[in-house]
Chain A
Amino acid sequence: MRVPSLPRGVAAAAARGAGRLSQRLGRGGGTTLPGLVLTRLRPEATAEMAGGITGGVILVSGTNGKTTTARLIRAALDASGAKVVANTAGSNLERGVAAALLDAGGAEMALFEVDEAALPGLIDQTRPRAVALMNLFRDQLDRYGELEHLVERWREAVDGLDAATVLIYNADDPAVAEVAGQHPNTVSYGIDDARVGRDRLPHAADTTDCRRCGAPLAYDMVTIAHLGRWSCPECGLARPQPDVGATRVELHGMGGQRLALAAPSGPIELSLRLPGLHNAYNAIAATTVALALGLAAESIGPALARRPAAFGRSERTPVGNARLTTLLAKNPAGANENIRTMLLEGGPLHLVVLLNDRTADGQDVSWIWDVDYELLLQSDRLESLTVGGDRAYDMALRFRYAGLDPGRMSVAPSVSAALDAGLAACGTGDLYVMPTYTALLELQGVLADRGLAPAFWEDQ
């Protein structure tokens, strides 16, 4: 049913009322409902509100790293003194963007992390000043469909960008680079430190054929999934030399990392509290966006250094005498990086893997078979393993067929019971938890009930 568009003030008042009601009823933080109400009552509201943001709208999209990258960009913008509105705690669909804009107050700039499928629509609505395209990996095929279709939708979205929009993109992703390269106004980034390269493509690599001629790509360095220094031996299409490149990446276990970047404005040193190569990409992306927005290079490093991990993204929480590290894992590329990041630390590893199959997780749990859990077994450091969630037994089978003796794992479908089993096994040490998205929300609920963590919509 198509209702006629309501006047802007009426629609906004109704949306705010819905948000307050939702919060009072304890139905979450009211971060999504107002946007949903608003865009239903006045479909053009997002475009109108975005048009009022004088300093421009920035959109950040990609399969993995959106939340962390947006938080890092936010830190750089905050340090510059800009007044920024963002969908930090809300949904990354149009409704979340609309809800954030509704509360924009006098913000000069808007920064949104955007679901990769929602990006074309939001480019259309917000006419952004800058767009960052980070990566495309296979993810929740039942929701997003084939990667190939997403690439084509992004291509159309890039075609529709205003020439003045600056497009920041990851040169190391062959699909993203080929699509973004069509735009006249771009700044690319990538990793150029061969010491963090891996010798071959992992199983979960998606874009491995040349997008121009179809021949298999050659790599002289692979970083994550199909990211790396790629070229086509047949037609000569190759990774562009990044405008902002990491010449040195030093990973210091779970504690963080140091990066040296070469940028047109000169070298930049970053020291981060975020672990792993995936976060190196996130920090390089954020720095590149900040530079493209004209922020002073010397202000970026200090701003990023202070930023802790986002909710559930290598976030660390004390639980009794143990320390919980939560690593959201919702697709093969992300799960593989979490595994590699955990293995950066020495010593015995206590791990809880939580697999849910709800709409926001993807109902199809096939993807766990594309994850290289074998790396954990080969490391010989897995001291205890607990599997939980709606599909705990699917995860148990994944490990059984990877070669783990079923007697060495605990199966506890309830998130609370799985957490307890993990805590009992780890004693006073570190416990790692790899949840899917809704399992992460459940875990957060369990921790909040025990007085150990704030509810997620309070996260800033």
Chain B
Amino acid sequence: MSAAISPVRLCHLYPDHLNIYADRGNIAVLQRRLGWRGLVLEVVEVGLGDPIPADCHLYYLGGGQDRDQKLVAEDLARKAGPLRQAAADGAVVLGVCGGYQLLGHGYATADGQQMPGIGLLDVETAAGPSRLIGDVVLEVTLGGHTHTVVGYENHAGRTHLGGGCTPLGRLRRGHGNNGADGCEGAVAARTVGTYLHGPLLPKNPWLADTLLGWALDHAGCPTELAPLDDDLEQAAHAAAQTRAGQKR
């Protein structure tokens, strides 16, 4: 392995407010999987009131409690310009749960308010009558490869996709975007939104590496990522898939 080359920069948006479903696990996976290949992931944390840098290669938005998501939504709507620009230029954006909703056009809450979104994904979300909770197994095709993706969902929002994006995956188990159409998540270019936590990336190393590959490409150093020993990841993936079929 060559020595560390110019780092990939990840912008972690609102780590103090959007962290309810162990979002730091996703960041750890991205960081370690680059590190094991002799590459460096630099993490820039952006909170309420801080400007968003336009020069990151990956942007991450996690999930939060309703109260925190409301705070964040207004702040993000005010300052999303550089994030939209970076996404248009080819940066990777990953939104999980509340973060996914914020990447869409907005969220109509149960008490009749409209929480703004930033419109990176052509999706609309409205609060439903109940929470959709449980294990999820998806079939996901990205870059011509199809894999299963496992995770856990817990959301009141019902998300519907417009014509400007495609679903991240087809449901084998779980409720997905809205509990009705058999789809989960949304993808437009390199922007990905999903309700899956667990966290998302540790048990889905293929998805982590796909995002890292895109980020390296955007950083100007397209790299064939060397395979890693993912035995534990595959075993955890298999266990989650088995548990998803069991009453417990």
Chain A interface residues (CB < 8 Å from chain B)? 138, 141-142, 145-148, 203, 208, 214, 216, 357-359, 363-370, 390-394, 396-398, 400-403, 406, 411
Contact = CB atoms under 8 A, between A and B. Distances in A.
A359 B135 CA distance: 13
B24 A370 contact: yes
B22 A367 contact: yes
B235 A393 contact: yes
Contacts of B25: 366, 369, 398, 401
Contact of B154 (A142, A208, A357, A397): A142
30 contacts: A141-B21, A142-B133, A203-B19, A363-B134, A363-B152, A364-B152, A364-B197, A365-B198, A366-B25, A366-B199, A370-B19, A370-B22, A390-B248, A391-B236, A391-B239, A393-B232, A393-B238, A394-B239, A394-B240, A396-B236, A397-B202, A397-B203, A397-B233, A397-B236, A398-B202, A401-B25, A401-B29, A401-B202, A402-B28, A411-B235
A357 B243 contact: yes
A148 B64 CA distance: 11
Contact of B248 (A141, A359, A402): A359
B147 interface: no
Given A141-B154, A147-B65, A148-B65, A366 B235 contact: no
A145 B131 contact: yes
B189 interface: no
A203 B62 CA distance: 14
A203 to B, nearest CB: 7
B142 interface: no
A324 B229 CA distance: 34
A357 B150 CA distance: 15
B71 interface: yes
Given A203-B19, A366-B197, A367-B22, 18 more contacts: A141-B20, A142-B133, A142-B152, A359-B248, A364-B152, A364-B198, A366-B21, A390-B248, A393-B232, A393-B235, A394-B203, A394-B236, A394-B240, A397-B232, A400-B32, A400-B232, A406-B232, A411-B235
B67 interface: yes
Given A208-B16, A214-B71, A357-B243, A146 B65 contact: yes
Contacts of B229: 406
B66 interface: yes
A397 B204 CA distance: 11
Interface in B177-203: 197-199, 202-203
Contacts of B243: 357, 390-391
A128 B69 CA distance: 36
B129 to A, nearest CB: 15
In the A-B complex, the 10 residue pairs with the closest CB atoms: A369-B22, A369-B25, A393-B236, A366-B22, A393-B235, A146-B65, A401-B28, A364-B152, A397-B202, A148-B65
Contacts of B67: 148
A148 B232 CA distance: 35
Contacts of A393: 232, 235-236, 238-239
A81 to B, nearest CB: 45
B23 to A, nearest CB: 8
A370 B22 CA distance: 5
Nearest to B237: A393
| Interface-central residue, A142, A369, A400, by most chain B CB under 10 Å | A369
| Interface-central residue, A391, A392, A393, by most chain B CB under 10 Å | A393
B154 A364 contact: yes
Given A141-B21, A146-B20, A148-B65, A357 B248 contact: yes
B198 A363 contact: no
B28 A146 contact: no
Contacts of A391: 236, 239-240, 243
A203 B24 contact: yes
A400 B24 CA distance: 14
| Interface-central residue, A146, A359, A392, by most chain B CB under 10 Å | A146
Given A141-B21, A391-B243, A369 B232 contact: no
| Interface-central residue, B22, B135, B197, B233, by most chain A CB under 10 Å | B22
| Interface-central residue, B65, B232, B235, B243, by most chain A CB under 10 Å | B232
Interface string B194-217: 000111001100000000000000
A400 B230 CA distance: 11
A425 B47 CA distance: 45
Contacts of B16: 208, 216
A396 B239 CA distance: 12
Contacts of B71: 214
Nearest to A361: B248
Contacts of B135: 363
A63 B32 CA distance: 33
A208 B133 CA distance: 26
Contacts of A141: 20-21, 154
Contacts of A369: 22, 24-25, 28, 199, 202
Interface in B95-135: 131, 133-135
Nearest to A400: B232
A302 to B, nearest CB: 44
Contacts of B239: 390-394
Nearest to B33: A401
A255 B111 CA distance: 52
B192 to A, nearest CB: 18
Nearest to B235: A393
Contacts of A394: 202-203, 236, 239-240
